[in-house]
A and B are shown apart, each in its own frame.
Chain A
Amino acid sequence: MKKKSDKAILGNDIETVRSVDNRSISPNYRGSIAFNVESFNGNKNSILDSCPTRALSTSNDDKQATFAVDHGKCIMCGYCSQAAPEFITIQSKPASPVKLKKQLSEYSNSLTQSEKSFEEVGNELREKIKKMFGRSLAIREVDAGSCNGCEIEITALNNPIYDIERFGIHFVASPRHADVLLVTGPASKNMESALLQTYESTPGPKIVIAVGACACSGGIFGDTYATTGGIDKVIPVDVYIPGCPPRPEVLIQGLLLAVDRMITNGK
C-alpha cells in the first residue's frame, strides 16, 4: 500500500525547523545596531539625542569618540542610523543574551557573538537539561506590564515551527512548579508586589530571565511614577535578553544561558 504523505494526513507537511543550518532571519530584519569602526568625526550630540531610550553613550576621549550601545535599552527604532547613516548601520543579526547587565553594552570597537541556529542551540540545551534535571525544564512566564510584544514571541516558541517542547522545555501554570521565571515588562508599580510574590513562591534553585528591553532597563517606558525601570529593581535577575521584542532564536539562547548558570551554580 502506498504510504500517505504527512500533508495528506495533517493538511501540512512537517513545518518544524529541523535543519541545523536553518538561519531564517530575513536580511531586512532590524536585529541590532552596528558601528562602522572608522572613527566618528561629526557632531556627537546629534547622535546621542536621536536615541529615545538613551541607549547610546560615548567616552569622553578628545581625539577619538568611542560610542557604546546598551542593547538592554535599545528598542531598534533606527533613529540613530537615520541621524548618522554613514556611522551607524542596522544589521539583521540580533543582540545576544548575557549574564551580567554590564555585558549588554557594546563598544564601537569591540566585537560580537556566536551565530548559532535555533536547532543547534536547542540540541545543546536538551543535552544540558538532561544532565542537570534528568528530563525537563519548567518555565513560568510573568508579565510585569509588557506591551504584549514579548508575549507574542514567547508564545511563538510553542508553535509547531519552533516547538520548544521537543528540547524538554515546557511552560507551567504555577511558579511552584517552575525552575525558571521568564519576566517581561518594565515592572509596573501595580505589578511590583505580584512579581515579588511570584518570585518568592518559586522553589530554589531558581533562575530569573528578564526578557526584552523593558525588562532589562525599563525600555521606552523608563523609570517613572508607574514603573520601576527594570525587573532587577524588584527581584534579582540572572540572564538578560535584549530586543524589542527578542525573536524566538534569541529567547532560546537566553534559556541556554540560564541552564548554564544553573549548572555552574550561578556563575
Chain B
Amino acid sequence: MNKIWIEKYKKDILGRFENKIDKTWENYNELHLFLKSEQDIPKICNYVYSDLVTRLTTMICTDERKLGNGFVIRHVFGKENGEDVFIFVTSKIDESYPSIALTIPAAILHEREIHDMFGIIPIDNPDTRPLVLHDHWDKDTFPLRKDFGLNTKIPRQEREYPFLKVQGERICEISVGPVHAGIIEPGHFRFSVMGENIINLETRLFYAHKGTEKLAESMKIDDVLLLSERIAGDESIANSTAFCQSIEKITSVTIPKRAQQIRTIFGELERLYNHMGSLAGISMDAGFPFGSARLNILKERLMKLNESLSGSRILFGVNRIGGVRCDIVDESRKILTETMESILPDFENIVTLLKSKSSFIDRLKDTGMISKQFAHDLGVVGVAARCIGIDVDTRRDHPYSTYLLHKKETPQEVMQREISMQKRKGDVLTRFEVRVQEVRESFDIIRTSLSLENDGLYTSIPHNLEPFKSALGYAESHRGQTVHWVMTGENNSIFRYKVRTASFFNWPIIEQAVLNDIVPDFPLVNKSLDLSYSGNDL
C-alpha cells in the first residue's frame, strides 16, 4: 500500500525540485531524498512540511567523516493521516547548515541537541544556548563525534546558564529542582510569578543525560536491546519494540505472527499500568488521595500481572531481535483474563466515583489548557496531542505488530472519532478522559489478541549484519510516538543509534500549558501530560 504513496510523493517532489535532488531511494515505507546542496534544506523541508502536510518526526545527524561523507543531516517527516510514509531529506554538510526552526518550530530543540552533540551550527536558529551538555561542560566537547572516546572524562567548568529574566514590579521567581519534593526524576523549573499566577515557566532538563546514544555505539546489538529497554523504565516495551523493528527492517526479517501478537499484548499492558499510574497521579495532585489510592491498587495488580507473565514488574526482557523472549502460554492467558476481569469493573467504579465529585472535576476543568496552534507547531504527540484534537496515533498511522487489525474502523466510526476530536478542549480534564478511554481500548485490544497463532516466538536474524544500512523503527508508547533510527557499522556494531521519544516533543508544551494557571496547578498539569525525563535526556 505505501508503495503507491511513496511513488506519488517522489513524483511530486522530483517534479518540483529535480535539479536540487541528487538521488532518491526507497526502503519499506521510507522515501529518501539526497540533496545536492545543504542550502536547499529550508526550501525542500518547508515544502514537505507545509505542502505535503507532514509532521517533523525527528532529525538525525551522523558523523560519516571516516566514510568520506562529512557530517550528514537527515530531516525526517512523517505522514500521519493513514498514508504510511516517512520522507527523509538527507544532506551532507560541513560544520553548519541553514536552520528550519523559524518555520518549523519543532526543529528548535533538535538543532540545539545536534549542536551540543556534534558541534554543528544551525545558522539562524534563534536559540543558541546549550541544551544537553550543561554549563559545567567544556564548550569544545562534542560527544557524538567519532573522534570522541566514550570514556573521556571532562573536567568541570563554572558557567551560568542564561535563563530568561522576567522583570517588573511585583514579579518574583520560584526555582524548583533538579531534586524535587516528590519521588520523581530530576529536572529544573523556573517560574516567574505575579501573585499566584504563572507569567513564565522555563524548563531546564537533561539532568538524567547518560550518554545512551554514544554508549550504544560501543555495545553488541543484543546488549543495545537491553539498553533500549532502559531508555525510560516505564516505556520498555515501546522503546525495545521500536529498536527491534529497525534491526528487523535492516535485516529484512519478518517476525512470526505470534510474536507480533505478544508484542501487541505487552505494549497494551504497558499502556495500562502507566495510564493507571498517571490517572492516580492526577487524582492525587488534585487533592483527592482516595481516588489515587484505589487506582494505585489497580496499578499494582497490573504490575503483579506483568511479573507473572514476563518475570519483570516493569516488563524488561520481553522483546528480542526477531521476535519475543517471553511466551504467553495457556496458563498465563488464564491469569491475564482473570486479572482483566477483576480490574475492569473496579476501574469503571472509580471513574464513576471521580466524575461524580464536583470539586475534583472543577479542579481539572480549564486547567493546563493547551492551544491547538502551539501543539501543532511544537509537534506534540500522544495523549497531549489527542487531547486537543490533533489526531495522531502511530498504531493507526504507521501500523506495526498487529495494530493494523485492531485499528481498522468503519466509515461511521471514523466520523464519530472526528466529531469527538473536534470537541476536545486541551485541558487536564480532557487528558483525564482521553486516558480513561484509552484504558478501555487497551482492554479491548488485549482481549481480541488473545487467540494466539502457533507459528513460533522468533525468527533468527543473520549472524552478520550488512554495514552502513539504516532503518527507522517506531512505536506508540503511553506517552506517544517513539522513533528509533539505527545505522549498522562494521563487525556487527551499531554506527549510530538515534532515539527520539515522545517526551522530547511534549516537554516544551508544558511551558505553554501552565501560563496563567496558579503555581499549585503545576504538579497537576505536569502529571496530566505524563512526561519522561530519562526518555528525553537519554
> Which of A95-103, A128-136, A154-162 lies on the face that meets chain B?
A154-162
Interface presence of B82 (CB below 8 A): no
Contact present for B313 and A220 (CB under 8 Å): no
| B233 contact set on A, CB distance < 8 A | 146-152, 245
| B220 contact set on A, CB distance < 8 A | 52
- Select A152's contact among B178, B234, B349, beta carbons within 8 Å: B234
Contact present for A146 and B211 (CB under 8 Å): no
Interface presence of B183 (CB below 8 A): yes
Contact present for A11 and B294 (CB under 8 Å): yes
Closest Cβ of chain A to B30, distance in Å, is 29
> Which of B89-97, B146-154, B189-197 lies on the face that meets chain A?
B146-154
Q: How far is the CA of A84 from the CA of B296 in the complex (A)?
A: 39
Query: Given A28-B307, A28-B309: A147 and B222 within 8 A (CB)?
Result: no
Interface presence of B293 (CB below 8 A): yes
Q: How far is the CA of A153 from the CA of B313 in the complex (A)?
A: 9
What is the interface of chain B mostly: helix, strand, loop, or mixed?
loop
Interface residues of A in 72-105 (CB under 8 A from B): 75-79, 90
Contact present for A30 and B151 (CB under 8 Å): no
| A153 contact set on B, CB distance < 8 A | 313
Contact with B along A40-64 (1 / 0, CB 8 A): 0000000000001000000000000
> Which of A115-123, A182-190, A234-242, A258-266 lies on the face that meets chain B?
A182-190
Contact present for B230 and A220 (CB under 8 Å): yes
Closest Cβ of chain A to B217, distance in Å, is 11
- Select B232's contact among A79, A148, A188, A222, beta carbons within 8 Å: A148
Contact present for B186 and A145 (CB under 8 Å): yes
| A223 contact set on B, CB distance < 8 A | 151
| A-B contacts, CB under 8 A, total | 193
Contact present for A224 and B211 (CB under 8 Å): yes
| A140 contact set on B, CB distance < 8 A | 179
Interface presence of B300 (CB below 8 A): yes
Interface presence of B26 (CB below 8 A): no
Q: How far is the CA of A244 from the CA of B233 in the complex (A)?
A: 10
Q: How far is the CA of A144 from the CA of B211 in the complex (A)?
A: 14
Q: How far is the CA of A245 from the CA of B137 in the complex (A)?
A: 30
Q: How far is the CA of A12 from the CA of B347 in the complex (A)?
A: 11
Contact present for A145 and B210 (CB under 8 Å): yes
| B209 contact set on A, CB distance < 8 A | 145, 188-190, 226
Contact present for A146 and B350 (CB under 8 Å): no
Contact present for B136 and A193 (CB under 8 Å): yes
Q: How far is the CA of A161 from the CA of B298 in the complex (A)?
A: 10
Contact present for A78 and B314 (CB under 8 Å): no
Please name the residue on chain A nearest to B280 by beta carbon. Answer: A159
| A28 contact set on B, CB distance < 8 A | 307-311
| A185 contact set on B, CB distance < 8 A | 208, 210
Interface presence of B134 (CB below 8 A): yes
| B311 contact set on A, CB distance < 8 A | 26, 28-30, 90
Query: Given A147-B534, A190-B207, A225-B150: A175 and B179 within 8 A (CB)?
Result: yes
| A244 contact set on B, CB distance < 8 A | 316
Contact present for A188 and B185 (CB under 8 Å): no
| A143 contact set on B, CB distance < 8 A | 179, 184-186, 208, 533
- Select B346's contact among A11, A77, A220, beta carbons within 8 Å: A11
Q: How far is the CA of A26 from the CA of B311 in the complex (A)?
A: 8
Contact with A along B294-305 (1 / 0, CB 8 A): 101101100110
Interface presence of B181 (CB below 8 A): yes
Q: How far is the CA of A154 from the CA of B182 in the complex (A)?
A: 11
Query: Given A142-B179, A226-B143: A15 and B297 within 8 A (CB)?
Result: yes
Query: Given A28-B307, A149-B234: A76 and B312 within 8 A (CB)?
Result: yes
| B308 contact set on A, CB distance < 8 A | 26, 28-29
Interface residues of A in 1-60 (CB under 8 A from B): 10-12, 15, 24-26, 28-30, 52
| B227 contact set on A, CB distance < 8 A | 220
Taking residues whose C-beta sits less than 8 angstroms from the other chain, chain A's interface range is 35 or more
Q: How far is the CA of A156 from the CA of B296 in the complex (A)?
A: 8
Interface presence of B482 (CB below 8 A): no
A10, A147, A189: most-surrounded residue (chain B CB, <10 A)? A147
B156, B179, B184, B185: most-surrounded residue (chain A CB, <10 A)? B179
| A195 contact set on B, CB distance < 8 A | 179
Please name the residue on chain A nearest to B311 by beta carbon. Answer: A30
Closest Cβ of chain B to A162, distance in Å, is 8
Interface residues of A in 163-189 (CB under 8 A from B): 171, 173-175, 185-186, 188-189
| A67 contact set on B, CB distance < 8 A | none
Q: How far is the CA of A185 from the CA of B537 in the complex (A)?
A: 13
Q: How far is the CA of A185 from the CA of B233 in the complex (A)?
A: 12
| B207 contact set on A, CB distance < 8 A | 145, 188, 190-191, 194
Interface residues of B in 211-239 (CB under 8 A from A): 211-212, 214-215, 219-220, 222-223, 226-227, 230-234, 236
- Select B184's contact among A26, A147, A151, A188, beta carbons within 8 Å: A151
| A173 contact set on B, CB distance < 8 A | 181-182
B152, B186, B227, B350: most-surrounded residue (chain A CB, <10 A)? B186
| B226 contact set on A, CB distance < 8 A | 52, 75, 77, 220
Interface presence of B4 (CB below 8 A): no
| A10 contact set on B, CB distance < 8 A | 294
Query: Given A145-B210, A148-B232, A226-B143: A30 and B353 within 8 A (CB)?
Result: no
| B208 contact set on A, CB distance < 8 A | 143, 145-146, 185, 188, 190-191
Interface presence of A71 (CB below 8 A): no
Contact with B along A217-258 (1 / 0, CB 8 A): 001111111110000000000000000110100000000000
Please name the residue on chain A nearest to B350 by beta carbon. Answer: A11
Interface presence of B58 (CB below 8 A): no
Q: How far is the CA of A191 from the CA of B206 in the complex (A)?
A: 9
Interface presence of A70 (CB below 8 A): no
Q: How far is the CA of A65 from the CA of B193 in the complex (A)?
A: 65
Contact present for A151 and B183 (CB under 8 Å): yes
Interface presence of B401 (CB below 8 A): no
Closest Cβ of chain A to B265, distance in Å, is 16
Contact present for A151 and B185 (CB under 8 Å): yes
Interface presence of B260 (CB below 8 A): no
The list of the 7 closest CB pairs from A to B, nearest first, reads A149-B233, A226-B211, A173-B181, A52-B223, A159-B296, A147-B233, A26-B308
Task: Enumerate 30 A-B pairs (CB-CB under 8 Å) in ascending A order.
Answer: A11-B294, A15-B297, A24-B304, A26-B304, A29-B308, A30-B317, A76-B316, A77-B226, A147-B230, A147-B231, A148-B185, A149-B233, A149-B316, A153-B313, A155-B183, A156-B300, A156-B303, A162-B300, A185-B210, A188-B210, A189-B136, A190-B209, A191-B178, A220-B227, A220-B230, A221-B210, A221-B215, A226-B211, A226-B214, A245-B233
Apart from A145-B186, A145-B534, A161-B296, what are 6 other A-B pairs with CB-CB below 8 Å? A28-B309, A148-B185, A189-B137, A191-B208, A221-B230, A225-B154
